[in-house]
């Protein structure tokens, strides 16, 4: 059979090729190399497989743990479970990073608690920054010798921080304190000036938010309120002026051989201090304090002036002449006091300056008032004994009062407080329409008498008020009550001449007479009683009570007609309508 020349040649073995080429390698050598290569491949495959197993085991074991190489605040937490890492960080850094913050605001130091201010550490979020386990084998391998720092995550509530900073103002803020001098007895002590300050809350909040981690000190910005004094100025005033001022007493020489001593205690109490324009103090003396200390000592050298008096003698007014007084001109006397306080020894002395004290009503003025004749008089009676004591006392006070032209007289103002200290006693009064008792009861009887005397003298009625119910001993619609601080009797003298008020009291009556120059005649017309109202009955049990039979209330009028005393021409006519309440029928039962 003839061979096919187109078929490919049979493959030859390695041994045949090596033999044909004439290589120096023997078949045995080639066989050894082949076994070595096979072993290398097996080792490499085994190693790769082992590494793959190790990688897989490492991935499985580190699942859920913090990646290796991670540190927080330098503390290694890589490889730990999240819970273990979080607990480790809490134990290690919680107290360290949440320490109180010292806020240094101007000249004041305060402390802020981060936790109470809404500043907290978020450890879960911090560990979230570490990320998840990397799958890249080279990254995992490098983590065996490399570290990666993760910053701490914080939770910050700006509103809470602002509120906490605002609360610090009670400690950090203060008003400016001007420097001055105070006294410890008679020893002067400097009070150092201190500028005021206000904490800048927004700026301080920003600083705390940026620097609070780990505590420490925050220098908070403040706005200041300056003072006008300086420490140097205060101490200069202390040593050069105030210490010499209280070093010894000051003698004040008066007339008639009387002297007074101004003690260091009084000088200390009288000195006043105010900032000047140069950082120091302006020093003055309070004259009323000095005068109060010196007046009792120099009282024998002063004689008050005596006003002219108009007395009724032999049924006619007589002028008792006025007398000038003599007193100390305190303003002139104390003018050199501050200069004297700088001196020592015999130079610490003042001479009292005296002046004539004129009376407020001179003899000439009294004569010019025209008090020459009686122009009106009115009397009332029928009062109780205790009320009579108060009527006597008020009559004593008002007797001799002079009302000058265009002047207004006030009964309450003239007598002042009516109480036990001024000679008044407990007596019957009307309290809210019911009989009662009180100090000064019965004054309304004098008020009614005074009102009628001024009524018939033609005085201008400024203020008066009738009783709430009618009292039979008074003229209807022409009577008055008073109550201290609330109800008064006031009249104005609109004539060109003065008025003298004369009073006369007996155990059964009181009379008020006005003296002056008669200008008018006065007529009173009392109207009929109308619109009667019936009384109610009240039964009072177990308390102080004054029984009354009761009486009807009514309405009536009074018309005052004023005529010229010479021509008898009618000058004015005025009608007043008064409504009296019924007097309740009061029954007292135990």
Distance CA 513, CA 310 (A): 13
For 279-320, the pLDDT digits (tens) are 999 999 999 999 999 999 999 999 999 999 999 998 899 999
Pairing of β 434-439 and β 426-431:
antiparallel
From the number of C-beta atoms within 10 Å of its C-beta (0-12, 13-18, 19+), residue 566 rates as exposed
- Looking up tokens 């001449």 gives 497
Range 261-272 burial, b when 16+ CB lie within 10 A, else e? ebebebbbbbbe
For 6-38, the pLDDT digits (tens) are 545 555 554 455 445 444 456 666 667 777 777
3-state secondary structure of 361: coil
> At a CB cut-off of 8 Å and minimum separation 6, what does 485 contact?
412
For 476-518, the pLDDT digits (tens) are 999 999 988 889 999 999 999 999 999 999 999 999 999 999 9
Contact 181, 238 (CB under 8 A): yes
For 325-338, the pLDDT digits (tens) are 999 999 999 999 99
Identify the pLDDT of residue 30.
61
- Rounded alpha-carbon distances, angstroms, from residue 557 to 298, 308, 444, 529, 579: 60, 41, 20, 8, 9
Q: How confident is the model at residue 107 (pLDDT cuts 50, 70, 90)?
A: confident
Q: Can you point out the beta strands (E) in 489-583?
A: 490-492, 499-506, 509-516, 520-526, 530-533, 537-541, 553-564, 570-580
Question: How many other CB atoms are there within 10 angstroms of residue 528's CB atom?
Answer: 8
Question: How many other CB atoms are there within 10 angstroms of residue 113's CB atom?
Answer: 12
Distance CA 175, CA 47 (A): 81
3-state secondary structure of 1: coil
3-state secondary structure of 379: strand
Contact 456, 378 (CB under 8 A): yes
From the number of C-beta atoms within 10 Å of its C-beta (0-12, 13-18, 19+), residue 168 rates as buried
pLDDT of 115 above 80: yes
* Alpha-carbon dihedral sign for residues 365, 369, 370, 376: negative
Identify the pLDDT of residue 407.
97
This model's pTM is above 0.75: no
Q: How confident is the model at residue 242 (pLDDT cuts 50, 70, 90)?
A: very high
* Alpha-carbon dihedral sign for residues 32, 34, 38, 41: positive
Distance CA 155, CA 541 (A): 75
Distance CA 442, CA 394 (A): 10
Contact 137, 200 (CB under 8 A): no
Domain locations along the chain: 232-359, 369-589
pLDDT of 574 above 70: yes
Please state the rounded mean pLDDT for residues 558-562: 98
Highest mean pLDDT among 136-145, 175-184, 380-389: 175-184
> At a CB cut-off of 8 Å and minimum separation 6, what does 274 contact?
281, 282, 284
- Looking up tokens 């390695």 gives 14
Q: Which helix (H) or strand (E) holds 206?
A: helix 201-211
For 123-135, the pLDDT digits (tens) are 788 777 776 665 5
């Amino acid at each position: 059979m003839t061979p096919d020349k187109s078929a490919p040649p049979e493959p030859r073995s390695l041994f045949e090729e090596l033999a044909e080429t004439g290589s120096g390698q023997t078949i045995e050598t080639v066989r050894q190399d082949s076994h070595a290569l096979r072993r290398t491949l097996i080792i490499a495959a085994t190693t790769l497989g082992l590494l793959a197993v190790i990688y897989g085991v490492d991935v499985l074991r580190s699942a859920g743990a913090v990646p290796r190489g991670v540190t927080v605040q330098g503390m290694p937490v890589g490889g730990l479970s999240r819970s273990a890492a979080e607990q480790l960080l809490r134990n290690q850094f919680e107290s360290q990073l949440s320490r109180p913050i010292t806020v240094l605001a101007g000249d004041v130091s305060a402390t802020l608690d981060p936790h109470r201010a809404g500043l907290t550490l978020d450890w879960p979020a911090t560990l979230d920054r570490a990320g998840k386990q990397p799958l890249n084998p080279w990254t995992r391998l490098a983590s065996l010798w490399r570290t990666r720092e993760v910053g701490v995550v914080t939770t910050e509530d700006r509103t809470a921080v602002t509120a906490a900073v605002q609360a610090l103002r009670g400690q950090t803020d203060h008003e400016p304190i001007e420097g001055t001098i105070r006294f410890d007895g008679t020893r002067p002590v400097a009070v150092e000036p201190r500028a005021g300050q206000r904490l800048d809350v927004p700026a301080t909040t920003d600083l705390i938010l940026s620097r609070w981690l780990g505590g420490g000190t925050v220098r908070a910005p403040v706005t200041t309120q300056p003072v006008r004094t300086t420490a140097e100025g205060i101490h200069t005033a202390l040593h050069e002026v105030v210490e010499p001022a209280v070093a010894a007493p000051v003698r004040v020489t008066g007339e008639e051989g009387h002297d007074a001593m101004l003690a260091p205690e009084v000088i200390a109490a009288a000195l006043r201090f105010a900032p000047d324009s140069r950082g120091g103090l302006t020093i003055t003396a309070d004259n009323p304090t000095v005068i109060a200390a010196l007046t009792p000592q120099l009282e024998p050298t002063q004689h008050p002036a005596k006003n002219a008096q108009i007395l009724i003698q032999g049924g006619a007014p007589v002028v008792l002449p006025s007398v000038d007084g003599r007193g100390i001109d305190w303003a002139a006397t104390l003018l050199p006091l501050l200069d004297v306080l700088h001196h020592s020894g015999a130079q610490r002395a003042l001479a009292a300056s005296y002046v004539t004290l004129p009376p407020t009503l001179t003899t000439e003025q009294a004569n010019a008032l025209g008090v020459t004749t009686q122009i009106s008089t009115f009397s009332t009676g029928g009062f109780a004994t205790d009320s009579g004591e108060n009527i006597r006392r008020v009559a004593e006070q008002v007797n001799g009062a002079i009302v000058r032209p265009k002047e207004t007289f006030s009964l309450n103002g003239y007598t002042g407080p009516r109480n036990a200290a001024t000679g008044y006693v407990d007596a019957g009064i009307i309290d809210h329409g019911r009989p009662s008792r009180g100090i000064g009861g019965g004054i309304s009887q004098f008020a009614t008498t005074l009102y009628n005397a001024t009524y018939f003298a033609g005085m201008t009625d400024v203020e008066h008020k009738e009783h709430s119910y009618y009292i039979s001993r008074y003229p209807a619609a022409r009577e008055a009550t008073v109550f201290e601080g609330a109800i008064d009797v006031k009249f104005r003298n609109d004539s060109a001449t003065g008025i003298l008020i004369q009073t006369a009291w007996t155990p059964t009556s009181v009379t008020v007479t006005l003296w002056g120059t008669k200008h008018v005649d006065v007529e009173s017309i009392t109207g009929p009683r109308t619109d009667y109202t019936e009384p109610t009955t009240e039964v009072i049990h177990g308390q102080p009570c004054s029984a009354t039979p009761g009486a009807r209330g009514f309405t009536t009028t009074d018309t005052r007609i004023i005529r010229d005393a010479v021509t008898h021409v009618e000058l004015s006519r005025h009608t007043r309508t008064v409504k009296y309440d019924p007097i309740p029928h009061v029954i007292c039962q135990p």
